[in-house]
Amino acid sequence: MRLPLCLAAFCLLTLTPLGVGGDPPKGFESLFNGNDLAGWKSTGNMKTWGADKGVIYCEGGGGGWLLTEKQFANFELRLEYKMPKGGNSGVAIRSPFKGDPAYVGMEIQLIDDEGWPGGLQKWQNTGAIYNVVPPKKISNRPIGEWNKMTIIAKGRQITISNNGETLVDANLDDYVKEHGKRHPGILESNKQGHIGFQSYNKRVEFRNIYLKAL
């Protein structure tokens, strides 16, 4: 029996997760196949990580970092993430597999800025290059909603936006004197590395993870 057009459209929407799937934006590649963690590896307990219905997730702490098997140098990375109340995570860029990406690479901070117990330093807020460059503002959606983040790494320039607001637009050379010794990941010698996500304390979800080489 042929369904009326409006009913058929409704059925299609109920079968397809909203906001997930489809082709990558023009010029981009998907870093996640939507089904499993092929192409990714964990620095901690891999069982902490999972994939389901177009979403990569960590169940809590203990999973270390989930990193791409491939390495990337200059790129535009787009992704969506969803945080729980009191959640903490991060996005690794230009990171080696060994060592803490927050230092040997760069960690772009993700955290519940408003609900985190205790105070936060500005360089701990969402969108910061952790412990190096604080964000200009906080631009989070309410807990439980999806946020859209874009990270552009082009040579020494790192630009980070969240939900359409530019949080960081930094030349790493301006931070080497103060932070380079503790954070070798910002040195000019570190030109490429893995991209990944942090397992810290609670369930965090990621989807629509797209990258364009620059």
CATH number at residue 169: 2.60.120.560
Is residue 3 a part of any domain in this protein? Answer: no
The count of structural domains within the chain is: 1
Is residue 187 a part of any domain in this protein? Answer: yes
Range of the domain at 195: 22-213
6 has a pLDDT exceeding 50: no
What's the pLDDT score for residue 119? Answer: 87
Is residue 10 a part of any domain in this protein? Answer: no
What's the pLDDT score for residue 118? Answer: 84
End-to-end Cα spacing for the chain: 50
Is residue 16 a part of any domain in this protein? Answer: no
Mean pLDDT value of segment 139-166: 98
State pTM to two decimals.
0.90
Cα separation of 89 and 124, whole Å? Answer: 11
CA-nearest of 61, 140, 132, 38 to 93 is 132
Cα separation of 83 and 197, whole Å? Answer: 13
What's the pLDDT score for residue 90? Answer: 98
73 has a pLDDT exceeding 60: yes
Is residue 7 a part of any domain in this protein? Answer: no
Is residue 6 a part of any domain in this protein? Answer: no
48 has a pLDDT exceeding 80: yes
Cα separation of 8 and 64, whole Å? Answer: 43
Is residue 128 a part of any domain in this protein? Answer: yes
Is residue 162 a part of any domain in this protein? Answer: yes
What's the pLDDT score for residue 211? Answer: 98
Mean pLDDT value of segment 150-174: 98
What's the pLDDT score for residue 121? Answer: 96
**Which residues have CB under 8 Å from 213's CB, separation 6+?**
72, 73, 74, 75
Cα separation of 97 and 111, whole Å? Answer: 23
Mean pLDDT value of segment 150-168: 98
169 has a pLDDT exceeding 60: yes
